[in-house]
Amino acid sequence: MRTTGARCRAGCRQRAARVARAIGLVAAWMMFVPGEIRATTPGRFPDVAAGQALIQQKGCANCHGVLGSGGRQGPDLLRIARGKGAAALLADMWNHVPQMVAALLTGERLPALSAGELRDLVGYLNFVNYLGDPGDAGRGGAALAQMPCLACHDLGQRGKIGPALMVSTRAASPVGLVTDLWNYYPGMHAALRERGLPWFAWSGDLLTDLSRYLASLAPAGSPAPLLAPGDPQEGSRVFARIGCERCHGPSGAGAWAALLRRSNARSAAENGAALLGHLPAIGGGAADALRPLSEKDMADLLAYLSLAGTEVPGGDARAGREVFARDRCGTCHALPGRKPGIGRDVQDMPAIGDPYDVAALMLQHARNMKTATELKHVPWPQIRPDELLDLYAFLASQPRR
C-alpha cells in the first residue's frame, strides 16, 4: 500500500536515517568519514563527496537501498555498481526509467540531475569498484601455502632471499602489496627464473585475500592499512612519470579508450593485478626498468586508472546514427531537413559536450518521453553502454541553430 502525507514523510525520514547509517558504514570501510572524502579536480574527475550527498538530496534512497539500508522498490545502488564502468551505469539509469516512473508516488517526479551531478554520482558509485571485496584471510593463508613465496620470504623477519612479508610500519593492504611487488619485481623475477618458475598469475581476489591474511597476523596496535582512495590528479602525474603514456597515452585513440573503460570497471586490487601481470613486458628483469613507487604513489595511480574512465571516451557517430534510427528517436526529435516531431528537434537541443550531457538530457525528459512512447505504442528503447557513447558522438556531430 502506498503511503501519503505524514506517513510518507515519516517513512522517508526513517529511510534517510537508515541510509545515513549505511553510508557511515561505507565511510568507515573506506577508513575516513564522508566529509573528509577528497574532492577531485572539477571538469575532469568527479567530486566523490558531492556524489555521495546526491543519493539523499535527490531522493534516490527513497526507493534504492545502500548496502541493504533504504528503500526496497529498486535495487541496492552500491551492489549493482560493482563491476560496472561509468557508461554502463548511465545506460542502466536510462533502461530502468519505466520501472522508476511506475514506482513513483502520486505527485512525485524523477529527480532532475545535471550532467555534472551525474558525473559526481557515477564517480561515487565507481568507488565501490575501487574498494572491491574486503578479501578472506582463510583463503589468503591457503593461497600463500600453495605459492613458493615462503621459500624466499619469512612472515615476520627477513627470509633467505627476500624481505619479510609483514611490514612493521604499516598493516597489509592490496595497494601496499601491489606497491611491494612492483618495487621488488626485478629481484623476484631473477629468483623465479633461477628456479625455473613463471611469474605469478595475479588476480584481484588473490591480492585482497593475501593482504587480508597478512593483516590478520599483525600485532595489536599496528598502523591501519591504506584503504582510502588515492588522488587521481596526482595519479595522472605518476602515470606519466613512470612512462605509461609511451604506450597507453591518449594519442592511442581507440586503445586508450578501451583501457579506460576496462580500468573504470575494476577495483583497485583488480587494476593492481592487471598492472602486476604486465610487469614481465615492462620490467624485463632489468633493475632500472621500473621506477620505484611509494604506497601513496600506487594509490594515486590506481585511483587515476579507476576514475579517468568516468570521462567515458570514445563513440562512433555513424553507429550512433543507426542507434538513433533503430530506437525511432526521429519519430519525436527530427533531424535537420525532416518534418518536426512532437519533441524538440535535434538542432534545437543544447550543445553536447560529453556523454553525461546526453544522459542528463534524456533523463530530464524521461517522463515526457515515456508518455510519448506509450501514445505512439513504441516500446521503451533499451540502450547498451557502447550505444550510449555512439549516440553521444552522433548528437554532438549534429549542427545547432
Residue 63, pLDDT score: 83
End residue of a domain, out of 311, 337, 370: 311
Nearest to 272 by CA among 216, 230, 330, 224: 230
Residues 126 and 257 placed together within one structural domain of the fold: no
How much is the average pLDDT of 19-48?
44
What confidence score (pLDDT) does residue 284 get? 56
pLDDT of residue 35 exceeding 60, the answer is: no
Split into its structural domains, the chain has a count of 3
What is the chain's alpha carbon radius of gyration, rounded to the nearest angstrom?
24
Residues 99 and 215 occupy one common structural domain: no
Selected residue with higher pLDDT from 83 and 250: 83
Whether residue 1 has pLDDT greater than 70 = no
Q: What is the 3-state secondary structure (H, E, C) of 152-168?
A: CCCCCCCCCCCCCCCCC
**How confident is residue 209, by pLDDT bands cut at 50, 70 and 90?**
very high
pLDDT tens digits along 303-358: 888 877 676 666 899 999 999 999 888 888 899 888 888 888 999 998 888 888 88
Tell me, yes or no, whether 153 and 180 share the same domain: yes
Q: For position 169, what pLDDT does the model report?
A: 62
**pLDDT of 32 over the 50 cut:** no
Mean pLDDT of the 27-35 span: 34
| pLDDT on residue 309 | 67
Give per-residue pLDDT as tens, 167-182: 766 667 889 899 999 9
Q: Which DSSP string do the residues of 348-397 spell out, in sequence order?
A: GSPP--SHHHHHHHHHHTHHHHHHHHHHTT-PPPP--HHHHHHHHHHHHH
Percent pLDDT > 70 in the chain is: 78
Please tell me the distance from the alpha carbon of residue 88 to that of residue 79, in angstroms, as a whole number.
14
pLDDT one-digit tens code per residue, 235-253: 989 998 988 887 787 666 6
Ranges 90-94, 121-125, 335-339, most confident: 90-94
Q: Which domain holds residue 19?
A: 5-131
Residues 216-237 pLDDT 10s: 887 776 666 655 668 888 998 9
Q: What is the mean pLDDT of the chain?
A: 79
Residues 298 and 325 reside in one and the same domain: no
Residue 26 pLDDT greater than 70, yes or no: no
Q: Are residues 141 and 258 in the same domain?
A: yes
Residue ending a domain, among 311, 344, 369, is 311
Predicted local confidence at residue 142, as pLDDT: 95
Q: Provide mean pLDDT across the span 28-35.
A: 33
Q: How far apart are CA 307 and CA 136, in angstroms?
A: 26
| Number of residues assigned to the chain | 401
Task: Mark whether 291 and 170 lie in a shared domain.
Answer: yes
